[in-house]
Chains A and B, each alone.
Chain A
Amino acid sequence: MVGFPLLTALIVIPAIGAALVVVTPRTRPELIRVIGFTVAMAVLVIAGYTLYEFATGTPGFQFVSQHVWIKEWGISWHLGIDGISLFLVVLTAVLFPFALAGADPHHDVKAYTAWMLVLEAACLGVFLALDLFLFFVFWELVLVPMYFLIGGWGYERRVYAALKFFIYTMTGSALMLVGILALVFLHASHFHHLTFDLQTLARDQSFGESTARWLFAAFAISFAIKVPIFPLHTWLPDAHTEAPTAGSVILAGVLLKLGTYGFLRFGLYLFPKVSHDLAPLLLTLGVIGIVYGAIVAAVQRDLKRLIAYSSVAHLGFIILGTFALTTQGVQGGLIQMINHGLSTGALFLLVGMIYERRHTRQIADFGGLQKVAPIFAGVFMLVMLSSVGLPGLNGFVGEFLILIGTFISRRWWAVVAATGVILAAVYLLWAYQRVFHGVPEGDNLKFGELRLKEAAVLAPVLALIVFLGVYPKPVLDRMAPTVKSLVARVDERTGAKQPAGAAEGRHP
C-alpha cells in the first residue's frame, strides 16, 4: 500500500463525508448519524493503519505526500507525519467517533454532523500540514465549524461564547499570518525563491536574532491564545461551558492541542534559539496557569466550568514540559496532550450525560449520586483520577515526565508546578465528593444508571486511560526519536548542553 496517500485520505474522507451528509435529506436523521459515525470510524481505521505502519525509531517525516498547489508562490499540498503528530492524529481520530456517538444534538442533526466532519478534516489538516500556507488554511478553517457548533447547538450564552472564541482566535491568527509571510519573504529575499515549505524554512534561515524574536512572537501569540496560556485564556471557560457536549469534547480534546502542537512544530522547530531564550517567560506563564487554573477551578459552582478551568491547569503542565526543552519534558508534554484529550474529553462527555439526566450542571444541585448510580460514579471516578494523575492511570505518566524533565533544566519552576498536582486532587476530589457522596434527595434519587450504549462509548476510552497508565512504552517509543532530534536541534542552535541524565532520555 505504498502508493496509497494515507494522509491525504485522512483529510479528504471526512470532507467527503460532510458532503455526503449535506446531500442526504434532512428528514433522515438516523441515516445521517450512521453516515457521520461510519465516516469517523473509517478515519479511525486509517489512522490506526498509519499507526501500525509507522516506522518506530525514525525521527523524520513519514508517509510524506507532496503536490504543487500554487506554483508561483511555492505553495504545495505537503503532508507528513512524525512522532510528534502521530498520536495527535490518532487522538483526533479516536475522539471524533467518540464525540459523535456519545452526544446527540437535539435538533438539526444534518448540519451538526456535517460541521463535525468538516471540523475533523480541518483538525487533521493542521496536524499533518508541512507547508505553512496549508497549515494556516487549516488553522483558520477549524474556526468556522467550531463557531457554528458552539453558536448553533450550545447553551444559553452560546452566541456570545461563539463570537468570543472566533474573535480571540482570529486575532491570534491575524498576527501569525503576518509572521508566516515575513518568514517566507525574508527567506525569499536571501534565497531568491518563494517557498512555504516548513522544512526548507527551518533549514535555510538568514535572519538575525531580533527578527527571529518578532517572528516567534507572531506565532507564539497565536498559539498561546489557542492553548490557552494565562492571561489569554478568558475565551476558554465561556466556550467550553456554552458549547454542546461534543463541542466541548473536541474543543478540549483536539482544539487546545493545536496550540501546544503549534509550539512544538513551529515554535521550537523554526525558532530553536528564541524558544530557548524565551523559555523562562513561557514556563512562568505555564506555572501561573497551573496554579491559577487549579485555584479558580476549585471555586466553580458549575461542573462544566470547573473542568474548563482544570484544562487551563493541565495545559499549563504541557507548556511547562514543552519549554523545559529536555527530552523527558517534551515527551511528557506530548503524552500529556493525549492524556488530557482522553480524560477531559471523557469528563465532558460524562458531565453532558449528567446534564441530560438532570438539566443542571450546578454542583450544589447534586448529592449522593453514588448510591443511585454506582457504575456511573465508578466510571466518573476512574476518569477523574486519571485527570488528577493517579499512578497507574495515564495522567500520572505525563505529569511525572513533565516534572522530571522540568526539574532537570529548571528546578524551581518544577517545584512550584508540583503543587498543581495536589491542587488538582483538591478540586476534583472535592467536586466528586459533593456530587457523588452523601445521601441522595429529590431528583437525585431518580438519577439514571449508565446505559449500555453510554458504556459502550466510554469503554474504549477507559481502556486507553488504563493502558497508557500501565504500559506507555509503545507510545513513548514512537515519540522518542522525533522528540530527541527536536531537543537536539534546540541544543545545537543554542550551544547548550543538556544536564547529565537528561541526554539519555530515560523512561520511567
Chain B
Amino acid sequence: MIAALAQAQQPGQALQLPHVDSWTIAPEAIFFVGGLLMLIAGVFLRRRVPRGLWSVSTVVIALVALWPTFHLWHQVRHGGARTAIADAIVVDGFSTFIYVVIISTVVMAALLADGYLRREDLDGPEYYVLMLFSASGGMLMAAANDLIVVFLGLEILSIALYTLAGYQQRRAGSQEAAIKYFVLGAFSSAFFLYGIALVYGTTGSTNLGIIAEFLRVNALTNGLFLAGFALLLVGLGFKVAAVPFHMWTPDVYQGSPTPATAFMAAAAKAAGFAALLRIFVSTFDLYRLDWQPIVWVLAVLSLLVGSILAVVQSDVKRMLAYSSIAHAGYVLVGFATATDRGVAGALFYLFAYAFMVIGSFAVVTVVAGKGDQNTGLDAFRGLASRRPVLAFVFTVLLLAQTGVPLTSGFLAKFYVISAAVEARSYALAIIAMIAAVIAAFFYLRLIVIMYMAAPADEGEEAVPAGPVPIAVGAGLALGIALSFTLVVGFLPSAVFDFARHATLLRL
C-alpha cells in the first residue's frame, strides 16, 4: 500500500487514491461500523435498555457480516483469489475461512458475555464494542497483503483485547492481567514493527506480493533479512502464545474476565496464525528451509511445555491457558509442514478449537459464580451431581480437547498429524501424539473431579454446593459449542472441504 501510494505521489501529480472495492473489506467494516453504532446508541439509551440488547445486537452484527463473507467465498471459488485496494488486501479462501472462524467466535463470546456482565454488574455496550473492534482487527490481519496492514490489524486486535482483559476493574487480578498483557504486548508489537522495518529495508517493500516477487528474483543471503523475519515470527508468536513467547498467557488468561479469556483464546489465536501462515507459508515460501526448523522447535516446545505445565495447575483457567499453549503447538505442527494439507489442517484446528475453548470457558464462567472467583479445581468437585448436564457438556468438550474420536477435536489432531506424516516429519507427529497423552492426564483429572470425587466425602472447606445458575446466553453458547463439536465430529466432510478449499493465495 505504501509503495502504491508512493508511486501515486509523483511530483506534479495530484494524489491518486486507489480504487476501493468495498466488498473486500465489508466484513471488517460491518464489525467496525456496527461497533460505532452501538457505542452511539449506548450514549443515548443509557440504562433504559431491554435485557440482552447489546448481546443480541452483537450477534446480529456478526451474522450480518457472514453475508459478505459468503459472497466473497463464492467469488473466490468461482473467480479465484485476488488482491484489492492497491494490493493491500487479499481475498482468498484462506481469509474468508478465518472470517468465519472469527465471526463464530464473536457470536459465542457475545452470548456468553451477556449473563456474565449482568452478574458482575458491568452491563453496557462497551464490552461488546471492544470485542467487535478487536474482531475486525483480527479479520484485517487475515486479509492483509501488506505488512503495514497486518500491523494495523494486530494493533486494533490487541488494544481492544488489553482493555477487555482489564474490564473487571474492581478485581485486582483483572487489572494485573491488563497491565501484563499490555506491557508484553507492546513489546511484541515493537518486535513485529522492527521486523517489518528490516524486511522493508532489505526487500524494498512492505507489500507481501512485491516482497515475494523480489525474493524470487534476488537470492537474499542477507543476515538482516533473516533477522527481519525472525522478528516477525517473535511478534506473532507472542500473539498465538507459542513457547517460548507464552509467559503472559497463564496470568492473563487467569486474570481476565472469563468470557474475555474465551474470546482471546479463540480469536487472537486465529488472527495471529492467519498472519503467520500468510507471511511465512505464502510470502517467505522460498525461505522455508530457514524458517521451518524454527517453527518445528516452536511446535515441539509449545506441545510439551503446554501439556506438562498444565498437569500441575490447580486453577482451571490456568490449566486451560496452558492447554491453549499446547493447542497452539498443534497448529504449529500444521504450519511447520508448510504444505497445503498442513495449512488446511491448521485452519480446521483453529475452527474446531474456537468452539471447544469458548465452550470450556463458558463452563468456567458459569461455575466461577459471582465475582468470577471460583475457578479452582475444587469448584468443580462433584459438579456432575449438582449440574449433570453442565458436567456432561464440559466432559464432551474436555474429551474433544483430549482428542477422543467422534469429536471435532480428534479430527483436528488427525488432520494436522496426517499433514506432518505426509511431509515425512514422523518425529513431530509422534511428539504431538505423546503430548496428547500427557494432556489427557489433566483433562481426565478434571473429569474425575466432576464425576468421581463424591461431594459427600468432603472433609475440607465446604464447596459451594448450591445450584449453579446458567444464564440463557451462556446456555446458548454452550449448546452451539457442543453441537459443533459433536456434529463435525460425526460428519466432518463439509468442514473438511471448507478447510481444504480455503487455500492461501500463493504469491
A: which residues have CB within 8 A of B?
A: 69-73, 136-138, 140-141, 143-144, 147-148, 151-152, 158-159, 162-163, 166-167, 170-171, 174-175, 177-178, 181-182, 184-185, 188
What is the distance, in angstroms, from B86's C-beta to the closest C-beta of chain A?
37
Closest to A182 in B: B421
Q: Which of B430, B440, B497 is in CB contact (< 8 Å) with A166?
A: B440
20 examples of A-B residue contacts, CB within 8 angstroms:
A70-B496, A72-B500, A137-B406, A137-B410, A140-B405, A141-B405, A144-B399, A144-B404, A148-B451, A151-B448, A159-B448, A167-B437, A167-B440, A171-B434, A174-B434, A177-B417, A177-B433, A178-B430, A178-B433, A188-B422
Contact indicator B426/A182 (Cβ below 8 Å): yes
B-chain residues with CB within 8 Å of residue A69 when the two chains form the complex: 493
> Which residues, 404 to 451 on B, are CB-close (under 8 Å) to A?
404-406, 410, 414, 417-418, 421-422, 426, 429-430, 433-434, 436-437, 440-441, 444-445, 448, 451
A-chain residues with CB within 8 Å of residue B433 when the two chains form the complex: 174-175, 177-178
Say yes or no: is B286 at the interface (Cβ < 8 Å to chain A).
Answer: no
A70–B348 Cα distance when bound, in Å, is 15
Contact indicator B440/A170 (Cβ below 8 Å): yes
Contact indicator B444/A72 (Cβ below 8 Å): no
Contact indicator B405/A151 (Cβ below 8 Å): no
Contact indicator A141/B493 (Cβ below 8 Å): no
Contact indicator A163/B448 (Cβ below 8 Å): yes
A-chain residues with CB within 8 Å of residue B487 when the two chains form the complex: none
When each residue 59-74 of chain B gets 1 if its CB lies under 8 Å from chain A and 0 otherwise, what string results? Answer: 0000000000000000
A184–B445 Cα distance when bound, in Å, is 34
Contact indicator A181/B441 (Cβ below 8 Å): no
Closest to A158 in B: B452
B-chain residues with CB within 8 Å of residue A72 when the two chains form the complex: 493, 496-497, 500
A197–B426 Cα distance when bound, in Å, is 22
B-chain residues with CB within 8 Å of residue A181 when the two chains form the complex: 417-418, 421-422, 429
Closest to B449 in A: A159
Contact indicator A185/B493 (Cβ below 8 Å): no
A177–B448 Cα distance when bound, in Å, is 26
Contact indicator B441/A163 (Cβ below 8 Å): yes
A140–B402 Cα distance when bound, in Å, is 11
Q: Which of A143, A167, A175 is in CB contact (< 8 Å) with B441?
A: A167
A-side binding surface: helix, strand, loop or mixed?
A: helix
A162–B437 Cα distance when bound, in Å, is 14
Closest to B399 in A: A144
Residue of B418, B436, B500 contacting most chain A CB atoms (<10 Å): B418
Closest to B414 in A: A177
> Known contacts being A144-B399, A182-B426, is A136 close to B492, with CB within 8 Å?
no
A184–B341 Cα distance when bound, in Å, is 14
What is the distance, in angstroms, from A122's C-beta to the closest C-beta of chain B?
9
Of all A-B residue pairs in the complex, the 3 with the closest CB atoms, nearest first, are: A174-B433, A137-B405, A181-B421
What is the distance, in angstroms, from B435's C-beta to the closest C-beta of chain A?
9
6 A-B pairs besides A141-B405, A178-B417, A185-B418 with CB distance below 8 A are A72-B496, A138-B405, A141-B406, A163-B448, A166-B440, A181-B418
A124–B299 Cα distance when bound, in Å, is 37
Closest to B452 in A: A151
> Known contacts being A158-B452, A177-B414, is A185 close to B421, with CB within 8 Å?
yes
Closest to A168 in B: B437
A178–B404 Cα distance when bound, in Å, is 15
A-chain residues with CB within 8 Å of residue B429 when the two chains form the complex: 178, 181
When each residue 463-504 of chain B gets 1 if its CB lies under 8 Å from chain A and 0 otherwise, what string results? Answer: 000000000000000000000000000001100110010000
> Known contacts being A171-B437, A182-B426, is A70 close to B492, with CB within 8 Å?
yes
B-chain residues with CB within 8 Å of residue A141 when the two chains form the complex: 404-406
When each residue 100-126 of chain B gets 1 if its CB lies under 8 Å from chain A and 0 otherwise, what string results? Answer: 000000000000000000000000000
B-chain residues with CB within 8 Å of residue A184 when the two chains form the complex: 418
A147–B441 Cα distance when bound, in Å, is 12
A151–B453 Cα distance when bound, in Å, is 10
Contact indicator B448/A140 (Cβ below 8 Å): no
What is the distance, in angstroms, from B334's C-beta to the closest C-beta of chain A?
14
B-chain residues with CB within 8 Å of residue A147 when the two chains form the complex: 444
A71–B492 Cα distance when bound, in Å, is 10
A-chain residues with CB within 8 Å of residue B418 when the two chains form the complex: 181, 184-185
Contact indicator A152/B451 (Cβ below 8 Å): yes
What is the distance, in angstroms, from A448's C-beta to the closest C-beta of chain B?
29
A184–B418 Cα distance when bound, in Å, is 9
B-chain residues with CB within 8 Å of residue A151 when the two chains form the complex: 448, 451-452
Contact indicator A163/B410 (Cβ below 8 Å): no
Q: Which of A162, A174, A185 is in CB contact (< 8 Å) with B422?
A: A185
What is the distance, in angstroms, from A222's C-beta to the closest C-beta of chain B?
11
A166–B445 Cα distance when bound, in Å, is 11
B-chain residues with CB within 8 Å of residue A167 when the two chains form the complex: 437, 440-441
Q: Which of A143, A159, A175, A188 is in CB contact (< 8 Å) with B404?
A: A143
A474–B441 Cα distance when bound, in Å, is 46
B-chain residues with CB within 8 Å of residue A148 when the two chains form the complex: 451
What is the distance, in angstroms, from A289's C-beta to the closest C-beta of chain B?
24
Contact indicator A174/B436 (Cβ below 8 Å): yes
Contact indicator B444/A166 (Cβ below 8 Å): yes
A140–B404 Cα distance when bound, in Å, is 7
Residue of A158, A171, A178 contacting most chain B CB atoms (<10 Å): A178
Closest to A163 in B: B444
B-chain residues with CB within 8 Å of residue A136 when the two chains form the complex: 405
A-chain residues with CB within 8 Å of residue B445 when the two chains form the complex: 163
Closest to B385 in A: A108
A178–B425 Cα distance when bound, in Å, is 10
A-chain residues with CB within 8 Å of residue B414 when the two chains form the complex: 177
B-chain residues with CB within 8 Å of residue A158 when the two chains form the complex: 452
B-chain residues with CB within 8 Å of residue A188 when the two chains form the complex: 422
B-chain residues with CB within 8 Å of residue A137 when the two chains form the complex: 405-406, 410
B-chain residues with CB within 8 Å of residue A178 when the two chains form the complex: 417, 421, 426, 429-430, 433
A163–B426 Cα distance when bound, in Å, is 27
B-chain residues with CB within 8 Å of residue A140 when the two chains form the complex: 404-405, 410
A-chain residues with CB within 8 Å of residue B493 when the two chains form the complex: 69-72
Closest to A140 in B: B405
A-chain residues with CB within 8 Å of residue B434 when the two chains form the complex: 171, 174
A147–B447 Cα distance when bound, in Å, is 11
A-chain residues with CB within 8 Å of residue B421 when the two chains form the complex: 178, 181-182, 185
Closest to B451 in A: A152
B-chain residues with CB within 8 Å of residue A177 when the two chains form the complex: 414, 417, 433
